Chain A
Amino acid sequence: MLDMVSYSDWILHALLWLPLAGLAHVLWAPAEHAKTVAFRWSLLVFVLSIGLWWAYDPAVGHGGFQLESTHPWIAAWGASYSLGLDGISLFMVMLTTFITPLAILGSFNYIKKKQKAFYALMLLLETGVVGVFLATDLLLFYVFFELTLVPMYFIIGVWGGERRIYAAIKFFLFTAVGSLLMLVAILYLHQRAETLLEVATFSYADLLTLQLTLKEQLWLFGAFALAFSIKVPIFPFHTWLPDAHVEAPTPGSVVLAAILLKMGTYGFLRFLLPLFPAAAQHPTVVAIMLTLGVIGIIYAALVAAVQPDAKKLVAYTSVAHMGFVVIGIFALTTNGLQGGLFVMISHGISTGALFLLVGMLYERRHTRLIKDFGGLGRVAPMLATAFVITALASIGLPGTSGFIGEFLVLLGTFETYPLAAICATTGVIFAAYYMLPMVQRIFFNELDKEENVVVEDLSRREIVILAPLIALMIVIGVYPAPFLERMEPSVQALLERVERSPNSVLRLGVDELGLGVSAAPVIAPDESTGLPNVGEMGDVPPRNLMAVR
């Protein structure tokens, strides 16, 4: 009996619902224990999630979902509670479970009022985000996608800075407007499925089989893209982000930058490209997305460079980084897509760390204005060292995580759109142009302000927070192969699906590319899942890494 309940059977559900159990515990526990309780639950979730690294096997399943499970949810609508994990969501889930405890730990000194509510919301947020990344049912996805809005709205609105109400409402309105259109699109898909497939379904795998006309695809693409573009955010939908970041408390900013933004680009990868492949390849669409991506990279870097507020500066750098992800995705090459996914991971780590560091500066000096600092390297050498390493990872110095992603994105984009890639490459110059002056004005130069002389160096708790982040930046930069190997099959499958479609917009009948549930066991045929091996599966070579090399 016991051996039937293996790790891969329960882990996804556990990761999704354990934060809610933690939430209940936080509400039940005395207020002064709220933070430690929340931290322990989030840590538990992280520890449990580590097993995913091995539970997800890139060598089998042709890059499709693994550890799947489906249960009826709203039977009348055909909505189901179905979860699954592939080489794309694996990293997003692990990033979430990794960042959340660190963000909670980073808020210990920052959050003074209504601690219970705060930590409860943080855990609710974790459930929402994990749900977004695991859902393989569009309605379920949408519910989680919207669910993340609520805790973030309150985290900014209640624990934020002076203009928190304005920022919170701006955040809410921007993102809600976008996602409502997406809901319409989802409902439209649902309705088309009823007509074409004669079944009421929100299932991702089912909807992938829909035969949509190019016109339909373009409209639906537009609706989804707007929602995700605001979330990412892509220029010119980015102005909510700096305000939200500046007002949000440190842990809010960390989660927002490291995880919530990824929901947008994840949406591109998971839904936009596979569901509407013809639209995603439409020359006009590609031109628009690439242009916006490149503008984002350069424009955000320029604006970042003149920000007087360190936190706002970091916020703008997020826009620039996400611009890389966008061009990597729409270049539609293996290198571009893998690079885009890699930038998502590395941005989560390095920008998360930057927000934590800026928060640490704020806790010491109660200001975030760059001009109020200067010469901190002399009194806080550890803080300075951590900041410099993180800043270098953020601007993509080789040997750090930032480089791998940016390089692959640029290389991949160059393969299909050389001009866009060259324009985007100027981003490496602008990155130095915004980051180094900030580092200099905070940590170098003369220690000429009395308030700065007494600034303390990192405490033990802060070292515990930063050490894993910094270690990861370097480890991933030096040995990224295990990451790339795990994401490759899913990215390849995605790419093949998109590439096969343009001349066959009307023949996307079978899930021949193994993106959905019907991913047949190509590599190990005897390990039958009982699903039929459909159509042309045979002529797709096994996505074995050794073979690719």
Chain B
Amino acid sequence: MFFALQATTEGAHEWSPVLPGLVILLPLLGFVINGALALTHARRSADAVRAGGELDLAAGDRPLTHTLPTWIGPGVIGLAFLITVVNLVGMAGADLHEPIIRTYWTWIVTGSLTVDAAIQLDQLSMVMMLVVTGVGFLIHVFSVGYMKDDPGYPRYFAYLNLFIFFMLVLVMGAGYLLMFVGWEGVGLCSYLLIGYWFSDREKSDAGKKAFIVNRIGDLGFLVAMFFLFTTFQTLDFVEIFSAAPERIPYGHSVATIITLFFLLGAAGKSAQIPLYIWLPDAMAGPTPVSALIHAATMVTAGVYLVARSSVLFALSPIASATVAGIGVITALFAATIALKQYDIKRVLAYSTISQLGYMFLGVGVGAYTAGVFHLMTHAFFKALLFLGAGAVIHSVHHALHHTDKDWDAQDMRNMGGLRKHMPITWATMWIATLAISGIWPFAGFFSKDEIIWAAGAWAGAANAPYPTLYTVYWVLALVTALLTAFYMTRLMVMTFHGANRTGEKEAKHLRETPAVMWVPLAVLAALSVFGGWINVPAAISESFLGGFGFLPMGENFHHWLEPVMAGAHEIQAQHLGEISHQAPLFGGGELVWALASTGLAAIVVLIAARVVGGQKHVPAVDAAEPRGLGRVLYRKYYVDEAYDAVIVRPVHALSRFSWRFVDDVIIDGTVNMAGNLARAFGWVGSLFQTGQINTYAFIFTIGVLVILGWVAF
């Protein structure tokens, strides 16, 4: 990996990226250093545990356990971000139409397969790198405050750095196999970080569940690669995407099979039906981890996969429709569950699943740019929501800790009225709530509206397959948008408004977070406001919704990604024709529906505020379990229970049966029977038996002689 600096550039380009390998290498370096610090720290702490106590964190060695990780952990990511920004500027000025490939060494080479350790720089990987290092850096900084009293501080940063490393491998790898390295690598880090507090059984169970469910998805990824390889004899992006339109006829089953297997992989990583079940449990990890891995970056890898493979998906209308269908159903399904959750992180978890569903809808209806756009804006406001929730939990936890009250610091029923204690958190989280609800002019408005519109426009495309289906998608997406506005407002009202329910004594200890935590919130809030302006649809930018043309608005993001998506767009233009400029139902153009949706969302926010604000809330201990439909939602449709009964238990039973019956009874039974039979024969032989090795050798020789005789005969 130290060849990084002597990389060879393939293809002639005017612009040469600045140290792109270092972007990947820096987080790895951070991992190595923090990992070493973590191990030394853990050894000392182990000595203390063996001696019957706990290591006193305050005493000595803070430079090694805190100061150094504090600078190195966020530092390497900050540097990586800076290099990325420099390259962004370079790329923006270069008018790049082909990806830049940098090859470092030959990774795998067999008789028929060659895979290089190579990275690919293009507009799409650049967007992902910016999100990963940028949002990643903010979350690292936030973590400094959030985790400062944690006994495993250096280990935490080691894992977090390793995660960024693998995430960058995922988005920068120049082929599917390298992407898969990052894909499984981030899964590993997710596993390690969900189970970060590994002494807690529930948390390490959650980590394990995430890993195993993700591996089900990985099966899909692997099989898709096998099909790709047998079709193209390579796993390289550039080669595959340039060959695909000629090699695979439009709508051919090969494209459908490949992309559906990829969809399985994407559904695992991006928590879509039917593999979403690990994500709510993943909230067991530290909250900044939820923000980084389980909201902003890793879970969007599935969307990235589809966007990256846009040419392949565009070739298969069936697979694309399936992607969109899975997405929109997941979006609606998760949103309904979020309506009835009380754990603040669980609401956000289901919200994330729901928003990922939107992204799937986007890339499924061929609006790859819109999907990636929503991925980016979602990274801003959802990271903000999670970090805000983290700040809230941090504060409530400390307040409860003061009086040793064993209430759940994450249950919104134990919160309320936090606004006056935590004004910055309150304000920034409201910005994020408006953004996710799709209210103008916040970031989510532009990205979500574009996805919903694309679903509707697809339904009316000239040669669109399944127009009715897409009409249904469009309606469901609109309904989900309203549900989103409702559950998010509910979260805000229950947490920040009304009377405080934490307890009188406890409420005195509720505090706003320190600057190291709220500054990242503020930065993300700014991005949640302005982040959407880089891509305003043409239909809107001319109108007052586009700021009358005064604001620097335009379809910049769309143009930016165009070189990457050109292949897919060409296929679409060729086979689907002009897309509609009218909504599939009721008529009306994009501007009308944008207006309507933001207006409706705003109304829902107001209604929700009134309804939830008007309800009487009691602390969790006094609350009764909801009834009727509410209970079904509260219990998450009993999906976990169903999976347990239908999959987990039968597999376990089969395992025990295989061991206790097939192995022990059938196979060993046969062997022992043969043994007993032999023993009966052996009784005769036992006249010669002495139990010595030389006797065996003797019998052995006899046997050989007999056989030799037979052969000779």
Residues of A near any B CB (own CB < 8 A): 170, 173-174, 180, 183-184, 187-188, 191, 236, 239, 299, 302-303, 305-307, 333-335, 338-339, 375, 377-382, 385, 392, 397-399, 403-404, 407-408, 410-411, 414-415, 418, 421-422, 425-426, 428-429, 431-433, 436-437, 440, 443-447, 453-457, 478-481, 484-485, 488, 491-492, 495, 545, 548-549
- CB-CB under 8 A for A239 and B222, given A414-B230, A491-B111: no
Q: Is there a chain A Cβ closer than 8 Å to B98's Cβ?
A: no
User: How far in angstroms is the closest Cβ of chain A from B41?
Assistant: 9
User: Is the CB–CB distance between A302 and B654 below 8 Å?
Assistant: yes
Which residue on A lies nearest to B712, using beta carbons?
Answer: A191
Contact partner, B711, options A187, A415, A431, Cβ 8 Å: A187
User: Is the CB–CB distance between A444 and B216 below 8 Å?
Assistant: no
Residues of B near any A CB (own CB < 8 A): 1, 39, 42-43, 45-46, 49-50, 52, 105-114, 117, 177, 180-181, 183-185, 188, 191, 195, 198-201, 204-205, 208, 211-212, 215-216, 218-219, 222-223, 225-227, 229-230, 651-652, 654-656, 658-659, 662-663, 667-668, 671, 675, 703-704, 707-708, 711-712
User: Is the CB–CB distance between B219 and A549 below 8 Å?
Assistant: no
User: Is the CB–CB distance between B212 and A381 below 8 Å?
Assistant: no
User: How far in angstroms is the closest Cβ of chain B from A502?
Assistant: 20
State the CA gap A545–B299 with chains docked (Å).
39
State the CA gap A421–B654 with chains docked (Å).
22
Which residue on A lies nearest to B229, using beta carbons?
Answer: A411
User: How far in angstroms is the closest Cβ of chain B from A236?
Assistant: 5
User: How far in angstroms is the closest Cβ of chain A from B461?
Assistant: 35
State the CA gap A239–B658 with chains docked (Å).
12
User: How far in angstroms is the closest Cβ of chain A from B481?
Assistant: 35
- CB-CB under 8 A for A445 and B675, given A302-B651, A410-B222, A428-B222: no
User: Is the CB–CB distance between B222 and A408 below 8 Å?
Assistant: no
Contact partner, A440, options B106, B184, B208, B219, Cβ 8 Å: B208
State the CA gap A422–B226 with chains docked (Å).
9
A333 CB contacts on chain B under 8 angstroms: 112
Candidate in B106, B110, B229, B651 with the most chain A CB atoms within 10 angstroms:
B110
- CB-CB under 8 A for A481 and B212, given A397-B184, A399-B185: no
State the CA gap A187–B259 with chains docked (Å).
54
User: Is the CB–CB distance between B668 and A239 below 8 Å?
Assistant: yes
B114 CB contacts on chain A under 8 angstroms: 549
State the CA gap A383–B640 with chains docked (Å).
34
State the CA gap A338–B188 with chains docked (Å).
27
User: Is the CB–CB distance between A236 and B651 below 8 Å?
Assistant: no
User: How far in angstroms is the closest Cβ of chain B from A403?
Assistant: 8
User: Is the CB–CB distance between B226 and A410 below 8 Å?
Assistant: yes
User: Is the CB–CB distance between A433 and B42 below 8 Å?
Assistant: no
B111 CB contacts on chain A under 8 angstroms: 334-335, 338, 488, 491-492, 495, 548
B198 CB contacts on chain A under 8 angstroms: 377, 440, 443-445
State the CA gap A415–B654 with chains docked (Å).
30
B703 CB contacts on chain A under 8 angstroms: 180
User: Is the CB–CB distance between A422 and B223 below 8 Å?
Assistant: yes
User: Is the CB–CB distance between B50 and A188 below 8 Å?
Assistant: no
User: Is the CB–CB distance between B46 and A484 below 8 Å?
Assistant: no
B652 CB contacts on chain A under 8 angstroms: 305-306
Which residue on B lies nearest to A421, using beta carbons?
Answer: B226
Q: List 27 A-B contacts (CB under 8 A).
A: A173-B675, A174-B671, A239-B667, A239-B668, A334-B112, A335-B112, A378-B46, A381-B39, A382-B39, A397-B185, A411-B225, A411-B226, A422-B223, A425-B222, A429-B216, A432-B215, A433-B651, A436-B208, A443-B198, A444-B199, A445-B204, A446-B201, A457-B46, A479-B107, A480-B107, A484-B109, A491-B111
User: Is the CB–CB distance between B50 and A454 below 8 Å?
Assistant: yes
Which residue on A lies nearest to B226, using beta carbons?
Answer: A414
- CB-CB under 8 A for A398 and B185, given A239-B663, A437-B208: yes
Which residue on A lies nearest to B703, using beta carbons?
Answer: A180
User: How far in angstroms is the closest Cβ of chain A from B232?
Assistant: 13
User: How far in angstroms is the closest Cβ of chain A from B58?
Assistant: 19
Contact partner, A436, options B211, B219, B671, Cβ 8 Å: B211
Which residue on A lies nearest to B218, using beta carbons?
Answer: A428
A428 CB contacts on chain B under 8 angstroms: 215, 218-219, 222
Which residue on B lies nearest to A184, using beta carbons?
Answer: B707
B216 CB contacts on chain A under 8 angstroms: 429
User: How far in angstroms is the closest Cβ of chain A from B624?
Assistant: 32
A382 CB contacts on chain B under 8 angstroms: 39, 42-43
User: Is the CB–CB distance between B215 and A415 below 8 Å?
Assistant: no
